[in-house]
Amino acid sequence: MLNLITAQDPRCLSDLFRNGFLVGRRELIDPDWEHAYVWMMEQMQFPNPYDAEVPMWSWLGKKLRCRSSREDVVIQFRVDEAQAKVSDFINWHNVLNNINLTINQREFEELDLNDVLDRSTWMRIFEDLHIYPEYDPLWIGTGKPYQVCTWHILLSDITRIKTTKNVLLYTKKRGIIWRNVEKEGLSAHFLKGPHKE
């Protein structure tokens, strides 16, 4: 099992507690990056049982690796490794920017300077680049931090939900902590259910 963490808009919580799962929604992605999302979805060769339109993005471990201007909620969860696609976040930016993921200057000169886009180089975001004898660590990043794509997040896999201010809203053991939810003004995002504290 992988321990993951993600930041999501608090409006997702009503879907999570109503349906028991979260899925990515296409309308939330930046249109400039749609090609990258489509490419990543093609690499995710495992079941998509809830018909997610796009993947859910998260980070390996318990440290959030992105910043947001929104008042996001931070969701910690566990997922089976067979239901996740782990990749190098730093080198993912080559996919986002629609450029080759070259591993040394020679390869850069062969491809980029000749305006050749070789999308097969993007597969390197899933690999340890040290396997390539021609890899130049001064040319490209070293494979940390790791991002993880899943098709969904199940409520049953969530261990805790908190605000970006570190206010605890939910734990698997205690359920929804209504006192904190109401204090943070997030009641509308939760479905009222059995009171657990």
Round to whole Å and give the CA distance between 98 and 122. 9
Residue 38 has pLDDT above 90, yes or no: yes
Instruction: Give residue 97's pLDDT band: very low, low, confident or very high (50, 70, 90).
Output: very high
Q: Confirm whether 147 is domain-assigned.
A: yes
Residues 99-131: tens digit of each pLDDT: 999 989 999 999 978 888 999 999 999 987 777
Please give the Cα distance from 94 to 33 (Å, whole number): 11
Domain-embedded: residue 197 = no
Structural domain of residue 134, as residue ranges?
2-189
CB 23 within 8 A of CB 52: yes
Residue 70 lies in a domain: yes
| Beta strand pairing call for 158-163 and 73-79 | antiparallel
Domain count, the chain: 1
Task: Please tell me the distance from the alpha carbon of residue 105 to that of residue 111, in angstroms, as a whole number.
Answer: 10
Rounded CA separation 43/123 (Å): 9
